[in-house]
Structure 1
Amino acid sequence: MVERHQCKNGVRVVLEPIKSVRSVTIGIWVLTGSINENERNNGISHFLEHMFFKGTKTRSPQDIAEAFDSIGGQVNAFTSKEYTCFYARVLDTHKEYALEILSDMFFNSTFDEAEMEREKKVVSEEIKMYEDTPDDIVHDLLARASYGQHALGYPILGTDEHLQTFNPDTLHAYVHNNYKPENIVVSVAGNVPAAFINDIDNYFGSYQYEGERHIVEKPAFIADRISRVKETEQAHLCLGYPGLAVDADNMYSLIIANNVLGGSMSSRLFQDVREKQGLAYSVFSYHSSFLNSGLLTIYAGTGKNQLSKLRTTVADTIASLAENGLTDKELKNSKEQLKGGMMLSMESTNSHMSRNAKNELLLNKHQTLDDMIAEIDAVTHESIKNVLAEVFSSEYSEALIAPDNQ
Structure 2
Amino acid sequence: MVTVTTCQNGVRIVSEHIPHVRSISVGVWVNAGSRYETPEENGITHFIEHMLFKGTATRSARQIAEEFDRIGGEINAFTSKENTCYFAKVLDHHGELAISILADMFFNSLFAAEEIERERQVVLEEIYMSEDAPDDDVHEKLWAVIYPNDALGRPILGTAETLATFDGEKIRAYMAKHYGPKNVVISVAGNITDELLATIDQLFGHYEASKQAIEAELTYPEFTPGEIVKTRDTEQAHVAISFPAINVKDPAMYSFVALNNIIGGNMSSRLFQEVREERGLAYSIFSYQSSYADVGAFTIYGSASKQQLSQMQHTIDATLLDLVAEGITETELENAKEQLKGSFVLGLEGTEAHMNRNGVNELVHQNHRSVDEVLAAIDAISMDIINELITKILLAEPAIAIIGPEY
Asked if TM exceeds 0.5, the reply is yes
Deviation per CA, 1:13-34: give whole Å up to 9, x if none. 1000001110000000011111
Q: How does 1:6-405 map to 2 (within 5 A)?
A: 6-210=6-210, 211=212, 213=214, 214-404=216-406
- Matches of 1:11 and 1:137 in 2, distance apart? 36
Deviation per CA, 1:99-141: give whole Å up to 9, x if none. 1000000000010000110111111111111111100111111
RMSD: 1.0
Q: Please say if residues 5 and 197 of structure 1, whose CA atoms lie closer than 8 Å, have aligned partners that are also in contact.
A: no
- Matches of 1:324 and 1:15 in 2, distance apart? 46
Q: Please say if residues 79 and 85 of structure 1, whose CA atoms lie closer than 8 Å, have aligned partners that are also in contact.
A: yes
Letter in structure 2 aligned against 1:376:
I
Deviation per CA, 1:231-262: give whole Å up to 9, x if none. 11100000001111111001111111110000
What is the TM-score when the length of structure 1 is the normalising length? 0.98
Letter in structure 2 aligned against 1:171:
I
Any unmatched runs of 5+ in structure 1?
A: none
- Matches of 1:113 and 1:47 in 2, distance apart? 14
- Matches of 1:208 and 1:304 in 2, distance apart? 58
- Matches of 2:137 and 2:37 in 1, distance apart? 19
Q: Please say if residues 244 and 393 of structure 2, whose CA atoms lie closer than 8 Å, have aligned partners that are also in contact.
A: yes
Could you tell me how far 1:282 is from its partner in structure 2? 0.2
Could you tell me how far 1:201 is from its partner in structure 2? 1.0
Q: Please say if residues 74 and 89 of structure 2, whose CA atoms lie closer than 8 Å, have aligned partners that are also in contact.
A: yes
SS of the equivalent of 1:255 reads helix
- Matches of 1:343 and 1:323 in 2, distance apart? 33
SS of the equivalent of 1:40 reads helix
- Matches of 2:250 and 2:3 in 1, distance apart? 25
- Matches of 1:63 and 1:352 in 2, distance apart? 28
Could you tell me how far 1:206 is from its partner in structure 2? 1.2
Number of residue pairs aligned between Structure 1 and Structure 2? 405
- Matches of 1:331 and 1:56 in 2, distance apart? 52
Deviates more, 1:284-293 or 1:185-194: 185-194
- Matches of 1:392 and 1:8 in 2, distance apart? 47
Q: Please say if residues 17 and 194 of structure 1, whose CA atoms lie closer than 8 Å, have aligned partners that are also in contact.
A: no
SS of the equivalent of 1:67 reads helix
What is the TM-score when the length of structure 2 is the normalising length? 0.98
- Matches of 2:38 and 2:235 in 1, distance apart? 34
- Matches of 1:260 and 1:296 in 2, distance apart? 13
- Matches of 2:327 and 2:189 in 1, distance apart? 39
- Matches of 1:134 and 1:280 in 2, distance apart? 15
Deviation per CA, 1:273-317: give whole Å up to 9, x if none. 111111110000000110100111100000112222111110111
Letter in structure 2 aligned against 1:35:
R
SS of the equivalent of 2:403 reads strand
- Matches of 1:227 and 1:208 in 2, distance apart? 48
Could you tell me how far 1:7 is from its partner in structure 2? 0.8
Q: Please say if residues 231 and 403 of structure 1, whose CA atoms lie closer than 8 Å, have aligned partners that are also in contact.
A: yes
- Matches of 2:237 and 2:59 in 1, distance apart? 47
Deviation per CA, 1:301-341: give whole Å up to 9, x if none. 00112222111110111111122221111111111111000
Displacement over 3 Å in runs of 4+: none
Deviates more, 1:93-102 or 1:189-198: 189-198
Letter in structure 1 aligned against 2:323:
L
- Matches of 1:358 and 1:23 in 2, distance apart? 20
Letter in structure 2 aligned against 1:121:
Q
Deviation per CA, 1:202-236: give whole Å up to 9, x if none. 11111123225342310100112111111111000
Could you tell me how far 1:48 is from its partner in structure 2? 0.5
Letter in structure 1 aligned against 2:309:
L
Q: Please say if residues 50 and 119 of structure 1, whose CA atoms lie closer than 8 Å, have aligned partners that are also in contact.
A: yes
Could you tell me how far 1:384 is from its partner in structure 2? 0.6
Q: Please say if residues 239 and 299 of structure 1, whose CA atoms lie closer than 8 Å, have aligned partners that are also in contact.
A: yes
Letter in structure 1 aligned against 2:368:
H
Any unmatched runs of 5+ in structure 2?
A: none
Identity, in percent, stands at: 48
Could you tell me how far 1:195 is from its partner in structure 2? 4.9
Could you tell me how far 1:9 is from its partner in structure 2? 0.9
SS of the equivalent of 1:76 reads strand
Deviation per CA, 1:73-114: give whole Å up to 9, x if none. 000000000000000000001000111000000000010000
